[in-house]
C-alpha cells in the first residue's frame, strides 16, 4: 500500500490553486548580462528577446504525447498542525557557485519556496534548508559530503544535483542512511549501485536519450547527426544513450570529444564543418555549450543544434546570444505552472529555470514526511519509498530501484 500525501488546501501560503495549468505558453526567460553565476529574467543581452519555450512532450519513441491536465498538487503547508524538534533541517547540495551555478540555484530557490510555505503555516515545526555548495565538482563534493552527514540536524538531502558528484558521494550518503533525493542527476547508472537511500525525481538518460534520438530521426528527419560529448559523467552517459538511439543516424566520423572548462572549440568545429551531417547534438552543460554553438556559427556551420537538460537554462541563451536561436533542448522537466512561476519570480527576482519545480516538489515531499511525524533519517527514507502524490511537475512514485514509475520528456526551443 502506498502512502498518499495530503492535497493542497485553500489556506496555503503559496496559493497554488487546484486549477494550476502547465504554462505551455510560459517560457523560461532569458538570462541577463551576468554570464557566470545566476540566470535572471530581467534585462537584455545580445540575444535580444530570445527565450526557451516549451514545444512538445514526447515518449520513449519520440512521438508527441499530449500534456496531462494539471492535477491538484500536494501543498507543502499541510494543515498547519506539524510538530518537530527544534533545529530540524533539510540539506540541499549542488553547484551554487561556479560556471554552472544557475542549475543548482534553480533547485535551491524552488526548494526554499516550499520550506517558506511550510514554516509560515506550521508554528510548531520550523524546518531549515541548509545549502552545501559543491560547485558541481565531484572532487569538491567528496569534501562536502562528510559535512552533510555529520550534521545531526539534517534528516534528508535534496541532491546532489549533478551526476558526477552524485556518483562520487553516493556511498557516503548510503552508508550514513541519509535520504538522497535528486532533482536533476540523470545518469542511468546511479540507480544500479545498490543504494537504498537514493531516489531520482525525474526521468533518467536511458529515457531521455532514446526519446530525443527518435525525435531527431523520426520527427525532425535527421539522417546524420554529430554527437559531441564533454568528459563529465552526465555528458558521457547521455551521449552513449543518444548515439545508441540514433543507430545509423549517428555519424561515426563526426563525434568530437571536448572537456568541461573548454572555451576553444575550433578543432571540434572543424571536424563538424567537414562532415556531411545534418544536425549536431551536444551532450554537456551550458557553460561549454554556449561558446561551442557560438564557435559553430562563427565558423559558418549552420546545422541545427540540439542538446538536453544540462543546457536547458536561460544562461545558455544569455551567454550564447543570437547563436542560440533555433536551438532544440530536451528536458525531463516540464514547464512551470503559471501561479508557481509568478510566486517564484516575486521571491527570487527571476523566472523559474530548469528543475525549479522539481526542487519545490521534492522538498515538499520531505516536508510532508516531517509533518506526518517522521523525525529521523531512516523514517524519511521509508516515507519516500512508499510515497505516492501529485506534484507541480508530475506524479511522484518510485520503484524498488529508486526510479520513478512513470516519466516523460519535454522538448523546448529557443525562439
Q: Where are the domains of the chain?
A: 89-202+335-406
pLDDT at 32 over 90: no
Work out the average pLDDT over 377-395: 96
At 282, the pLDDT band (50, 70, 90 cuts) reads very high
pLDDT at 37 over 70: no
**Higher local confidence (pLDDT), 286 or 20:** 286
Cell numbers for 395: 506524479
Question: Is residue 352 a contact partner of residue 39, using CB atoms and an 8 Å limit?
Answer: no
Cell numbers 542549475 label which residue?
103
Work out the average pLDDT over 308-331: 96
Question: Is residue 327 a contact partner of residue 413, using CB atoms and an 8 Å limit?
Answer: yes
Strand boundaries in 230-290, DSSP class E: 279-283
Q: What is the pLDDT of residues 120-174, one digit of tens each?
A: 999 999 999 999 999 999 999 999 999 999 999 999 999 999 999 999 999 999 9
pTM of the full structure: 0.85
Distance between CA atoms of residues 49 and 37, nearest Å? 20
Distance between CA atoms of residues 7 and 358, nearest Å? 17
Angle at 237 between CA 315 and CA 64, to 5 degrees: 70
Strand, coil or helix: 28:
strand
At 116, the pLDDT band (50, 70, 90 cuts) reads very high
Distance between CA atoms of residues 156 and 129, nearest Å? 10
Work out the average pLDDT over 60-84: 90
Question: Is residue 310 a contact partner of residue 336, using CB atoms and an 8 Å limit?
Answer: no
Q: What is the pLDDT of residues 232-260, one digit of tens each?
A: 999 999 999 999 999 999 999 999 999 99
Instruction: Using alpha carbons, list the distances in angstroms from residue 80 to 23, 153, 215, 272.
Output: 29, 22, 45, 58
pLDDT at 34 over 60: no
Which CATH fold would you assign to the domain 89-202+335-406?
Rossmann fold (3.40.50)
Distance between CA atoms of residues 368 and 77, nearest Å? 8
* pLDDT for res 47: 54
* pLDDT for res 71: 75
Half-sphere exposure of 409 (CA within 13 A, CB side): 30
* pLDDT for res 5: 37
pLDDT at 6 over 90: no
Amino acid at each position: 500500500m502506498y502512502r498518499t500525501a495530503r492535497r493542497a488546501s485553500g489556506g496555503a501560503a503559496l496559493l497554488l490553486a487546484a486549477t494550476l495549468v502547465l504554462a505551455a505558453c510560459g517560457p523560461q526567460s532569458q538570462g541577463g548580462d551576468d554570464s557566470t553565476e545566476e540566470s535572471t529574467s530581467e534585462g537584455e543581452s545580445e540575444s535580444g528577446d530570445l527565450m526557451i519555450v516549451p514545444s512538445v512532450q514526447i515518449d520513449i519513441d519520440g512521438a508527441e504525447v499530449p500534456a496531462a491536465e494539471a492535477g491538484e498538487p500536494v501543498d507543502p503547508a499541510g494543515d498547519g498542525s506539524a510538530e518537530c524538534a527544534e533545529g530540524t533541517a533539510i540539506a540541499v547540495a549542488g553547484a551554487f557557485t561556479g560556471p554552472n551555478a544557475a542549475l543548482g540555484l534553480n533547485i535551491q530557490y524552488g526548494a526554499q519556496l516550499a520550506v517558506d510555505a511550510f514554516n509560515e503555516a506550521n508554528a510548531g515545526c520550523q524546518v531549515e534548508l541548509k545549502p552545501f555548495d559543491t560547485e558541481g565538482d565531484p572532487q569538491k563534493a567528496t569534501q562536502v559530503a562528510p559535512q552533510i552527514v555529520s550534521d545531526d540536524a539534517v534528516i534528508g538531502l535534496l541532491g546532489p544535483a549533478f551526476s558526477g558528484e552524485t556518483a562520487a558521494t553516493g556511498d557516503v550518503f548510503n552508508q550514513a542512511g541519509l535520504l538522497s533525493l535528486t532533482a536533476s542527476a540523470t545518469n542511468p547508472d546511479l540507480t544500479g549501485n545498490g543504494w537504498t537511500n537514493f531516489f531520482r525525481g525525474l526521468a533518467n538518460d536511458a529515457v531521455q536519450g532514446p526519446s530525443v534520438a527518435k525525435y531527431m530521426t523520426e520527427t525532425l528527419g535527421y539522417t546524420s547527426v554529430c554527437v559531441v560529448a564533454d568528459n563529465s559523467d552526465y555528458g558521457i552517459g547521455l551521449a552513449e544513450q543518444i548515439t545508441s538511439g540514433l543507430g545509423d543516424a549517428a555519424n561515426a566520423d563526426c563525434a568530437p570529444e571536448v572537456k568541461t572548462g573548454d572555451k576553444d572549440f575550433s578543432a571540434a568545429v572543424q571536424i563538424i564543418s567537414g562532415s556531411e551531417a545534418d544536425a549536431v547534438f551536444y551532450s554537456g552543460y551550458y557553460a561549454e555549450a554556449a561558446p561551442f554553438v557560438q564557435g559553430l556559427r562563427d565558423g559558418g556551420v549552420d546545422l541545427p543544434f540540439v542538446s538536453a537538460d544540462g543546457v536547458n537554462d536561460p544562461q545558455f541563451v544569455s551567454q550564447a546570444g543570437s547563436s542560440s536561436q533555433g536551438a532544440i533542448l530536451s528536458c525531463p522537466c516540464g514547464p512551470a505552472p503559471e501561479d508557481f512561476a509568478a510566486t517564484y519570480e516575486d521571491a527570487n527576482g527571476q523566472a523559474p529555470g530548469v528543475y525549479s519545480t522539481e526542487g519545490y516538489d521534492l522538498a515538499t515531499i520531505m516536508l510532508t514526511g516531517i509533518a506526518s511525524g517522521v523525525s529521523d533519517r531512516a523514517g524519511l527514507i521509508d516515507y519516500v519509498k512508499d510515497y505516492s502524490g501529485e506534484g507541480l511537475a508530475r506524479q511522484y512514485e518510485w520503484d524498488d530501484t529508486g526510479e520513478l514509475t512513470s516519466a516523460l520528456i519535454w522538448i523546448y526551443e529557443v525562439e
